[in-house]
A = this chain, B = another copy of it.
Amino acid sequence: MSTLPAAVSDAIEALSDLQGIGSRSAERLVLTLLRNQFGLDKKIGNALIALKENVAECGICCHLCNKTDAPQCGLCSDACRDATRICVVSEPSDVIALERTHAFKGLYHVLHGVISPMDRVRPEDLRIGSFLARVKAENPSELIFALPASVDGETTTLYLIEQIKNSFAGTITRLARGIPSGGDLDYLDAATLSQALTDRRSI
């Protein structure tokens, strides 16, 4: 016999299906929600139900956008952004991270993943077709590859460069690799450190 009401067990089970939330955390969250006096349970519940219904993918950069704004997201329709630079990222969260820096004023292209033979992600599973068509049509002056610094990320960058190298005349760059801000040499892995050595700059 369970010591918890079915509605509580159901909520715990549903929450613990989420990546990064174990059954104990889910239990704690649900019991907190039960104690909450301000309707947070309903607020979260309704927000999650409304989530996918109101979100679409931008027809240009494939970033998430309001369904009412589709087919063009706020970034792509913003006339103040530099449309001649396209930054290629893997996930919508990478756009958020880059926007947080306020250091990039160009546009993005979100691939929604990277090519990964291990995880059976093939080029056709990603937004690569739309990327190639976009590069051909818009002919930007610079493509900045900001894919993950992993084997799969590198593979995807090389694959994309291979696809465009005959038709694209602009600059191709990737994010700098090196010591992170505040990084202590002692704690850095050998790959980062050797990359930082190779890419050293004169000062």
Instruction: Out of B14, B49, B55, name the residue touching A8 (CB < 8 Å).
Output: B55
Contact B31 A43 (CB under 8 A): no
Query: What number of A residues sit within 8 Å (CB to CB) of B?
Result: 59
Contacts of A32 in B (CB 8 A): 18-20
**For the complex formed by this chain, how many copies does it contain in all?**
2
Contacts of A3 in B (CB 8 A): 63, 74-75, 95-96, 99
Contact B43 A17 (CB under 8 A): yes
Contact A64 B18 (CB under 8 A): no
Considering only residues 16-50 of chain A, those with a C-beta below 8 Å from chain B are 17-21, 25, 27-34, 40-50
Contact A20 B15 (CB under 8 A): no
